[in-house]
Structures are given as structure tokens and as C-alpha cells.
Copies of this chain bind each other. A is one copy, B any other.
Amino acid sequence: MSRWEAGARERLVVGAVDLFAEHGYDATTVTQIAERAGVTKSTFFRHFSDKRELLVAGQETLSRLLALGIAEAPGNASPLEAVAAGLQRASGAMGLRSLDLAQRLKAAVAASAELQERDALKSVSFAAAMTTALIARGVPDSTAAIAAELGVLAFKRGFAEWSQGDRSTADDLARHALAALDELRAASATLR
């Protein structure tokens, strides 16, 4: 794969998100996305089967990293400590370029009901990935399900704060997510 070709995937994602923000998700075609990225339609289809898959791709990567961080946490880590490790692993993948993309994506989501639904589904797939990873560590089902939901809430809150920030704090997603998890842990202790 040439260097130009290797950058194609990223250009396709960035171009698509811009087009979604400009014209809405429904009105954007694969042809337009390929043109914006400066590649042919067949290059698009080498990377993604359709425009929906283009959005799902990033989501699946994050689900995988959340689960990986949980799997790699020390054996004696508590369920929430394992969730914190998952948040750190997934946050680590999101730097400056992700911040740009997150801010563009936010505008696109605000403009499309279909993207709002996709966004809601993201939470569900993150929760499922973390629950499965926790159960694989021997955490009982109910505890795993709750710890995963706290993880999703923490990731969403951390992400919302991070994506409002500027480029100087682009590396701080993990910090925001872990602070949110701490707050949720404290709140869950008050439940009765």
C-alpha cells in the first residue's frame, strides 16, 4: 500500500464527517465522500462496505480497546479498577486528530436524526464489550453489568468535557473520563 493509499482511510473518515455536518448524513453519497477525500469510489469500497460502516468502524475500535484494557488490568484489580484501565486504553488512542474529528462529528450528529440514533447505539455496544470483558475476568454477571454501565457513563461524560476543550488539552481525555468514573463511584456508594 502506498503512503497516499494508507492515508486514504483517514481522509475518507474526515471528509465524510465534514459532509455529514454540511449536508446531513442521509443526503451525503459515497461518490461525494470519495471526491472530498481525493480517491476513487473503488478505493472507498476497499475500506468500507457503505457509509454506515465508516461510522461504525471507529466505534468498534473503541469497543475493542475498552475490552482490551479491562482484559490487561492486573489480576487483583477490582471491577471498577479494571474499567478504569479500559477507559485509559481507549482514551490513549484518541489524540489531537481525534479531537478535531470529535468536534466535527458533534456538528454532524446535531444535524441528523439517524446519526443521533447511531450515537445512542454506541453506548450499548460499549457496555456490551465491557460487560463481556469483565465476565471473562470472573466478575459476577450483575456486578459486571453495573461496572460496565458506570464505565460508559464515565466515558461519555469525559468525552463531552474533552471535546469542548481546545487543542492544548487534547491528551486529557483519560483524565476527564477517570475523574467522571471517580464521581460516579462515589455516587453509587450513596444508593440505597
Which residues of A come within 8 Å of B, CB atoms? 78-80, 117, 120-121, 123-125, 140, 142-143, 145-147, 149-150, 153, 183-188, 190-192
CA distance A140 to B186 in the complex (A): 12
Contact of A184 among B78, B79, B117, B146 (CB under 8 A): B146
Q: Is the CB of B192 within 8 A of A143?
A: no
Most buried by B among A124, A146, A150: A146
Q: How many copies does the complex hold?
A: 2
Note all chain B residues with C-beta closer than 8 A to A153.
145-146, 149
CA distance A143 to B190 in the complex (A): 8
**A143-B190, A145-B184, A145-B187 given; 5 more Cβ-contact pairs under 8 Å:** A79-B191, A121-B124, A146-B187, A146-B188, A149-B150
- A148 CB to closest chain B CB, in angstroms? 9
